[in-house]
Structure 1
Amino acid sequence: MMGSLPDLKKPEAFTEKLQWIKLYDRKPIYHDMVDKVEMKKFVADRIGLMYTIPTIGVWDNFDDIDFDALPEKYIIKCTHDSGSYVICTPQAPLDIEKVRQKLKKAFKHDYYIYSREWPYRGLKKRIIIEPLLIDSSGANYLTDYKFYCFNGEPKFFYITSDRGSKLGLTEDFFYIDGTPCEFTQVGERRAPVCPPLPRNLSKMIEFSRVLSANTYHIRIDFYEVNERIYVGELTFFDGGGFFGFEPKEYNKIIGEWIKLPVD
């Protein structure tokens, strides 16, 4: 993936250190932190239930869901993986059979296998439905604010805009003081106009410190809906641990921010 073998005895680059973490940092709590149901309990215990996205219901079996009892806008997804979601709105109602087949396919896959992200190993496979959060723009896709934390300290974040657009999403990176970063992820494009910073930036930084405690590295994702904060997810391995940065030298610069026992 990266064009070279990682040095796991003395890792230096950001992606090398993430591979080391996959192999050697395996706390049982990490399973709860990535499970879409258990993560909400983890967040609620540390910063409060009000910062979690409400849950309509959780099911072990797709056929047990009473779709007639659901609100007109919601999102349905698996609890054990990433990307297996479907959005339902009056403008785009669900094709129940297509959704059944999509989630059935996701249930057959062990998400851990793809890039050996240990926190996903052995997770219980369930289906969760949440209300669709919509901000003042009215768009089905919210802006994401994703904070990279290093040994419990957030260093920078990026803003994801235009998700679901024809051109695809954009990513704009900022240091936590709000100044733009000199780097970006390989292959990602910036927004034509620099997006505004979140109104609750200081609170997101505070929460990132709390939620990333006792980890070497983790990404904390937030939404801001009508000035209210929600934690979207916790991600240990951005891009499976295979996304580098450009300019190239930032792979080592950012890697230096992760302090491991082998450093």
Structure 2
Amino acid sequence: MKLQNFLPTGHFWDNALSILNARKRLGYFPNPRKPRSFNEHILAQKWAFRGDLALASRVTDKAEVKKWLSEIGMEHLIVPTLGVYKNTWDIEAFHFEGELIAKSTHGSGEALIRTAQNGKAFSLEDLEVFRSWFSEDYYKRSREPNYKGLSKRIIVEPLLRDETGNPPKDFKFFCADGEPFAVQVDHGRYTHHTRQLYDTSWQLLPYSMCYDRNPVPMRKPVLLDKALEAARQLSKGFGFVRVDFYFMPSGLKLGEMTFFPGNGAERFSPAEGDAQLGRQIRKVSFTADQTAGMQKRKA
């Protein structure tokens, strides 16, 4: 178990640990009080969250976000749910069919993909994995405030497949003050993982983060404009949020909403991409502030 699970929580400790983690991984001391780089902007949101933190916690929860989508009239984005479980006994007793994926509603990154046989999808080893998920407090591990106090549950969904028969690519829209400014696309997640970043006009950017950059541009997705508009609606009211979509033959489906990608400590390649993407956040936020000011003066 990681050391941060045993250290005190609260604003000071959460931010101190986050800054030290970023220093170790990035090679420079980030300044969240005067953010310039992309990672500093992410850490700045930990220092002083911009937006409704209670709503951010709700949409972080992989089950609660679906209720929220229904409330705001965006049911078409919801991935179907096979079940939400508070313990492993209920999972073991449930009768499943077909391909499915299990995730924790309160954590990040965990997933099991299985195919049910005779109604049973999960082995005894899988149930042990679920017990470890139930025991984890992702807030203590990451110090991301939106995870604090989330109910610990497992959500099971049908496994999505695109027109090629493969699990769909997820397109991750970086948004600042309700406006998308970059799109992340991952390739070969289960083979040779590479990553691309595009601007909103679908121009491939000359840097990547965390994984090697795939230099071959993708064709502009048919659903890009619809996804940009949906990202604007979902990100409204937050300083920064990454909105993830699956592009399906039937339309868009929401994957998740992430407020602290990489925990503010993802290395860029080349390194100057960190500063370049940070400038994009400032540009978008400055435009949003100007627009808000003009609207106030008109009112």
The two structures have a TM-score, normalised by structure 2, of 0.79
Does the CA-based 8 Å contact 2:97-2:116 persist in structure 1? no
Matched, 1:255 2:281: no
Does the CA-based 8 Å contact 2:208-2:273 persist in structure 1? no
The CA distance in 1 between the partners of 2:56 and 2:126, in whole Å, is 29
The worse-fitting range, judged by mean Cα deviation, of 146-155 and 9-18 is 9-18
Matched, 1:53 2:83: no
- Taking the TM superposition and a 5 Å limit, the aligned residue runs for 1:212-227 are 212-227=235-250
Does the CA-based 8 Å contact 1:33-1:42 persist in structure 2? yes
Does the CA-based 8 Å contact 1:14-1:244 persist in structure 2? no
Question: Any idea what SS the aligned residue of 2:128 has?
Answer: helix
- Taking the TM superposition and a 5 Å limit, the aligned residue runs for 1:22-61 are 22-25=46-49, 27-61=53-87
Partner of 1:136: 163
Question: Any idea what SS the aligned residue of 2:244 has?
Answer: strand
Question: Any idea what SS the aligned residue of 1:28 has?
Answer: helix
Q: How far off is 1:29 after superposition? A: 0.9
Whichever residue aligns with residue 188 of structure 1, its letter is D
The CA distance in 2 between the partners of 1:44 and 1:189, in whole Å, is 36
- Taking the TM superposition and a 5 Å limit, the aligned residue runs for 1:144-155 are 144-155=170-181
Partner of 1:180: 204
Partner of 1:7: 31
Alignment CA distance shift 1:178-1:2 (3 Å): same
Q: How far off is 1:34 after superposition? A: 0.7
RMSD, aligned α-carbons: 2.3
Q: How far off is 1:177 after superposition? A: 1.0
Q: Which has the larger radius of gyration?
A: 2
Q: How far off is 1:111 after superposition? A: 0.8
Structure 1: runs of 5 or more not aligned: none
- Identity in percent: 32
Whichever residue aligns with residue 147 of structure 2, its letter is Y
In the alignment, which of 143, 146, 151 is matched to residue 116 of structure 1?
Answer: 143
Whichever residue aligns with residue 69 of structure 1, its letter is H
Q: How far off is 1:258 after superposition? A: 3.4
Whichever residue aligns with residue 66 of structure 2, its letter is K
- Taking the TM superposition and a 5 Å limit, the aligned residue runs for 1:185-200 are 185-190=209-214, 193-200=216-223
The worse-fitting range, judged by mean Cα deviation, of 52-61 and 23-32 is 23-32
Q: How far off is 1:176 after superposition? A: 1.0
Question: Any idea what SS the aligned residue of 2:175 has?
Answer: strand
Superimposed CA distance per residue, residues 200-235 of structure 1 (whole angstroms, 9 cap, x where no aligned partner)? 110000001111111111111010121411010001
Partner of 1:101: 128
Superimposed CA distance per residue, residues 28-69 of structure 1 (whole angstroms, 9 cap, x where no aligned partner)? 111111100111122333351121101111111111125562
> Comparing both structures, which one devotes a greater share of its residues to helix?
2
The worse-fitting range, judged by mean Cα deviation, of 244-253 and 81-90 is 244-253
Whichever residue aligns with residue 39 of structure 1, its letter is V
Q: How far off is 1:144 after superposition? A: 0.9
Whichever residue aligns with residue 177 of structure 2, its letter is N
The two structures have a TM-score, normalised by structure 1, of 0.89
Does the CA-based 8 Å contact 1:160-1:172 persist in structure 2? yes
